[in-house]
Homo-oligomer: A and B are copies of this chain.
Amino acid sequence: MLFEISTTSEIPIYKQVRDQIVIGIAKGQLKPDEQLPSVRQLADEIGVNNMTISKAYNQLKDEGFLITDRRLGTKVAQLKPQPGPLPPDLFFQLTLILAEIRLHAVNTEQIEKSVQQILTDFFEE
């Protein structure tokens, strides 16, 4: 998996790494139980501080998307289906980004088309 990191972006580097792993899992480029590169390895590859990668991995573990296996290092966790509706903060964030898109005068149909385009790129269960 390739990472594209910008050190000049206003988005913290650790979050860029975390975000790209999230998208990688959603797209099936990273599969459950698949092993990730070690902190040092990835830090070298991207050219950032170990702490930065460590922080990204830790957040992903907290979120339940990664797990640490004593023998194998860090790997992708199994999806745990969440009962009920979307967590409120995800729902809010989705509302916000859709609102921003709407304010660029993109109409509803176009937005739905973009959403479907993105979703078809994701893995099937």
Contact = CB atoms under 8 A, between A and B. Distances in A.
A50 to B, nearest CB: 14
A101 to B, nearest CB: 6
B118 A23 contact: no
A68 to B, nearest CB: 6
B81 A101 contact: no
Q: How many copies does the complex hold?
A: 4
Contact of A86 (B62, B71, B99, B101): B101
Interface in A93-119: 93-108, 111-112, 114-116, 118-119
Nearest to A68: B8
A14 to B, nearest CB: 10
Given A26-B100, A115-B115, 16 more contacts: A7-B71, A8-B67, A10-B68, A26-B103, A62-B62, A79-B103, A80-B105, A81-B105, A90-B101, A94-B114, A94-B115, A98-B122, A99-B122, A107-B125, A111-B119, A112-B116
